[in-house]
Amino acid sequence: MRYQLATVLLSALAVVAAPAPRLPRSIFDKTTSVTSSILVNAPLADTIAALQDFQNMINLNPLVISSTPDAANPNVYTIIDKLALPLGFEFNTTYKATFTKTPVGMDTISDAGLGVTIQNHWVAEAIEGGTNVTETDTVTANFVVSPFIESEIKSSHGQLLETFKSQLEAKAGQA
Ligand SMILES: *[C@@H]1O[C@H](CO)[C@@H](O)[C@H](O)[C@H]1NC(C)=O
Ligand SMILES: *[C@@H]1O[C@H](CO)[C@@H](O)[C@H](O)[C@H]1NC(C)=O
């Protein structure tokens, strides 16, 4: 059963990857949004500054194994993620991500290859007891690979948020 799942995923990825570098958007595409938030016990301004430290935010993502800023545009990074499939299969995927500071955090847009586009919208907001950090991820992908991408994002960004929180709180504690 698991082996079948891995085979199906691998052939789905192969099919989707075939007309590289980029598939036209089609009726097979699906767009989904996932929102997660975490309460950080640190000042709002520090939290926004941390969200706008692009290199640090990239490093917090447990899937990332390499990242290189673009020589011409410091807001663009070439990133390599290591993705794991069932049964110990793994593959590396290289993509470009563009980061933009906003007054309340930052936005990213990644053209992740395999016809996958991911937008991340980060917002920090002062609330009773600290700063509420909310991440909204919008994934557009072929409906076959979409559930896989969503579950990767849910688990990796769950970890990212937890590390983000402990990093900031450690810093706030020292201040
Ligand atoms: C992914 O990249 C890492 C580090 O460069 C390398 O060790 C690994 O063999 C690569 N994996 C695949 C499946 O290409
Ligand atoms: C943080 O913001 C999100 C999105 O607006 C909201 O759903 C969540 O309830 C907020 N969390 C707290 C603790 O206020």
Residue of 82, 83, 85, 94 with the most ligand 1 atoms within 8 Å of its CB, for mutation: 82
- Give a yes or no: residue 103 inside a domain: yes
- Give a yes or no: residue 15 inside a domain: no
- Give a yes or no: residue 140 inside a domain: yes
pLDDT digits (tens, 9 = 90+) for 49-105: 999 999 999 999 999 999 999 999 999 999 999 988 778 888 898 999 999 999 999
The CATH number of whichever domain residue 112 belongs to comes to 3.30.530.20
Per-residue H/E/C for 55-109:
HHHHHHCCCEEEEEECCCCCCEEEEEEEEECHHHCEEEEEEEEEEEEECCEEEEE
- Give a yes or no: residue 17 inside a domain: no
**Cβ of 82 below 6 Å from ligand 1:** yes
- Give a yes or no: residue 107 inside a domain: yes
* Percent helix / strand / coil, the chain, rounded to 5: 35, 40, 25
CA of 93 to the centre of ligand 1 (A): 10
Residues having CB within 6 Å of any atom of ligand 2: 37, 39, 127, 132, 134
**Cβ of 78 below 6 Å from ligand 1:** no
Closest atom of ligand 1 to CA, residue 82: 1
Whether the predicted model's global pTM rises above the 0.75 cut: yes
Rounded Cα distance between 164 and 59, Å, is 10
- Give a yes or no: residue 132 inside a domain: yes
Look over the chain and give the mean of its residue pLDDT values, rounded to a whole number.
85
- Containing domain of residue 126, as a range? 29-62+97-174
Which ligand is located closest to the Cα atom of residue 122? 2
- Give a yes or no: residue 91 inside a domain: no
CA of 155 to the centre of ligand 1 (A): 21
**What's the structural domain count of the chain?**
1
pLDDT digits (tens, 9 = 90+) for 108-148: 999 877 778 999 999 999 999 899 999 999 999 888 888 88
Class of residue 138 by CB neighbours under 10 A (exposed 0-12, middle 13-18, buried 19+) = middle
- Give a yes or no: residue 16 inside a domain: no
